[in-house]
Chains A and B, each alone.
Chain A
Amino acid sequence: MFAQRMSLQEREKVLGLVLVTPAVAIILSLILYPIIYNLYLSFFDVNPMAGNTYVGLENHRNVVTDPTFWKSVFTTIVYVFSTTIGTTLMGLLVALAMNRKFPFRGVVRSLVLFPYVAPVISVVFSWQFFFDPVNGIFMDLAYDKLGLFSSRFNLIGSPSTAVWVAIAFSIWKNFPFSYLMILARLQAIDETLYEAAEIDGASGWHKFRFITFPEVYFVMGAIILLRVIWNFNKFEEVFLLTENVRVLSVYTYYKAFVGTMELGQGASLAVIQFILLIVFILFYVKRVLKW
């Protein structure tokens, strides 16, 4: 029939289109549509009961003139910057150590992955118990046993210290991913390179600086990019551990769904967050990854 009149190449083409259609449809309906609808909502005063009223750029204006928004941008930058540097460096160090030969290396290598695979909620509870001001082991050690502080305090609950706990938590939880990627790359480096360097009289630092580092540079570059994207949008790790760290995603949640629900401003915040991230990615891909 119809199909027989087409050439083999044309039929291949049609089949290809048919095969990608479901995926395209899913992406369009589950990713593109929400993004566009969110963009649309950000220009409205959203009221689920009474309907939406068009307000132009007012939501965006309200958001950027609110000092708490800038405070949250600052918190986000501190959080993303510290956790990205932390997870990458920690991952690199652990990978370098795990690349050497020692007894039970296989067991240790898989144990290091534990924080990354453990469910967030269960480790969050352990951390909360750990830092409880009255019953926690941390205060018991640091205050009662070692006398490091003049009084007990709520490290995980106080707004001023909570962000540092959140950062430490994220580094601990996510460094195994960087470690895994870097270790895989390390194992692929040709041993002869090191041997040649040794003959030329290179020190340990020189070997790292001129062989190891260039070899892992692009892996680390990619890991950093991924980590920035993930942690910039991170919600559950921060929110479950402590509600006091208002990174942009948590701030948006509070703005949109808690108290006086400002759904329009929430949408506008999501748009702004999206733009900030896109700008960073474009800059980074061009400058660091040199694509």
Chain B
Amino acid sequence: MKKWFSSVVLFIFALSLVWAGGQSEAPGESEETVSQEVTIEFWTTQTQSDRMATIQVLVDTFEALNPNINVKLVAVDENDMATQINTAAASNTLPAIIESDTESIVAFGAEGLLNSEAISGLIESIGPEKFYRGALSLNESAEKGVYYGVPYHGWVQGIWYRADWFEEAGLEPPSTWENILKAAEYFYRPEINQYGILVGTKAEAYTEQCFTQIAMANGAQLFDAQGNLIFDTPEMREAVEYYAELAKYTPPGPQTWRARDYYLQGKMAMFFYSTYIMDDLALESDAQDSLTNSNFADLEGKSFDPELVENTRVATTISKTQEAGYGTILSFGIPAHGDELKTAAAVKFLSYLFTPNAYVTWLHMAPGGMNPVLKEMAVNPRFQNDPKGIFQHYGKEKMAEIIQGLNSIETFSIVEGKRMAAASTIYSKQIIPQMIYRITQEGMEVDAAMDWAEMEMRKLME
């Protein structure tokens, strides 16, 4: 009896060892075609459940067409992408496809984590001339024609503001440094729970997005055309000081994009945001989760303001010494995991996502927020006829203007047409947001904070 029992225990133990040993897959058994059964992981930054559901529909359709390929969809927060990729690379568990902002894609590519050959091949097969030039060149490596990622969709950032309040107060639209500050000061009335402007003050990507546009407007850069770090310039210092000044008119404490809710509740005059806000402004069903819950009847801002969309305008460029626009292109990258079978499957899946049906389905997840990077898709009548009626609401011209804006996006990582990979690394490590957090929340002096940031940047570039 005991002998029987102990041998069962031993057997189970041995079995568990075998199972654990079988967990790591043998890499490198490759074939060019996708004739073998293969499972690929697809990391997306579209973490909202409704978007996940839409992408899953696309995945299911693709799997039905390609029975040999299984696609596993994984949601990764945009702020965690760098950490996740670096740890996955260290543990040899890189996914087959990632979807992320282009800055991060370029940073990963520069670190040697991406398969630029496969992606460049895909771009070649789609036809580079079909893309908006600006969107594609953001993905280009220092070598011409070699790309780290393929652009897929993008958004444009601007300052959205209460045109009716501005008109009443006789203020100019917030498209210059001076006008923005003046209005922020004017509308900041914390005693009645009303705030001037929302700029990011949390150590997150949103903060860097707001800051970049402001700094660009003053001609501040991280690098010169020779690739030298030029962070400590009078222009940059002015931008940091100006940003810290604006932060005083932001709702109290560390804030991020989520505070846009206060605007939808009628408690704020201006906020930095992408074109993703268009459906929340126009449609009650989308605005719902930004409004205070109707269970708390005494709290202000609980109901939808149907006139808000009429009373809201957007300033997509800001100027001080020059005009600056900002936005983000989301791109796909294929990590360099060395498994050719998975790479082939990934390329196949990405090609599928560029077919008109799949592309339109994806873009319609967030009309206004997700804009196409292929020229012919922008004028596709099916794309322009979105189920939420956003195109109808804002008019085709306004939408065309926004999509055009994707062509003129500027970032710290391209100086005079040259790729500064280190700037993307600095972006993905969130050095500037951390600096802004220290200044605005921890009361650090601008000088000390900028010194700290420069030291961190130099550490990264070593």
Contacts and interface: CB of A to CB of B under 8 A. Distances in A.
A7 interface: no
Interface of A: 3, 11, 14-15, 18-19, 21-22, 25, 48-49, 133-135, 137, 140, 144, 151-154, 156-159, 243-244, 257-261
A261 to B, nearest CB: 7
Given A152-B252, A259-B434, A260-B456, A15 B6 contact: yes
B10 A18 contact: yes
A73 B434 CA distance: 21
B9 A22 contact: yes
10 contacts: A48-B86, A49-B112, A133-B252, A151-B190, A152-B190, A157-B254, A158-B253, A158-B441, A258-B430, A260-B456
A246 to B, nearest CB: 11
A11 B12 CA distance: 20
Interface of B: 2-3, 5-6, 9-10, 12-13, 16, 83, 86-87, 89-90, 111-112, 190-191, 193, 195, 202-203, 251-255, 259, 261-262, 265, 267, 292, 296, 298-299, 301, 429-431, 434, 441-442, 456, 459-460
A22 B12 CA distance: 9
Contact of B253 (A14, A135, A154, A257): A154
B253 A157 contact: yes
Given A153-B252, A154-B253, A258-B430, A49 B111 contact: yes
A259 B252 contact: no
A243 B441 CA distance: 12
A231 B1 CA distance: 46
Contacts of A25: 13
A133 to B, nearest CB: 5
Given A259-B430, A259-B431, A18 B9 contact: yes
A121 to B, nearest CB: 14
Contacts of B431: 259
Contacts of A154: 251-254
Given A22-B9, A258-B430, A135 B299 contact: yes
A21 B2 CA distance: 16
Given A134-B267, A260-B456, A159 B442 contact: yes
A156 B252 CA distance: 11
B253 A11 contact: no
A133 B254 CA distance: 11
B136 to A, nearest CB: 28
Given A22-B12, A135-B262, A154-B253, 12 more contacts: A15-B2, A49-B89, A135-B292, A137-B296, A151-B252, A152-B252, A157-B255, A159-B441, A159-B442, A243-B202, A243-B203, A259-B431
A140 B298 contact: yes
Contacts of B265: 135
B83 A258 contact: yes
Contacts of B9: 18-19, 22
A261 B86 contact: yes
Contacts of A258: 83, 429-430
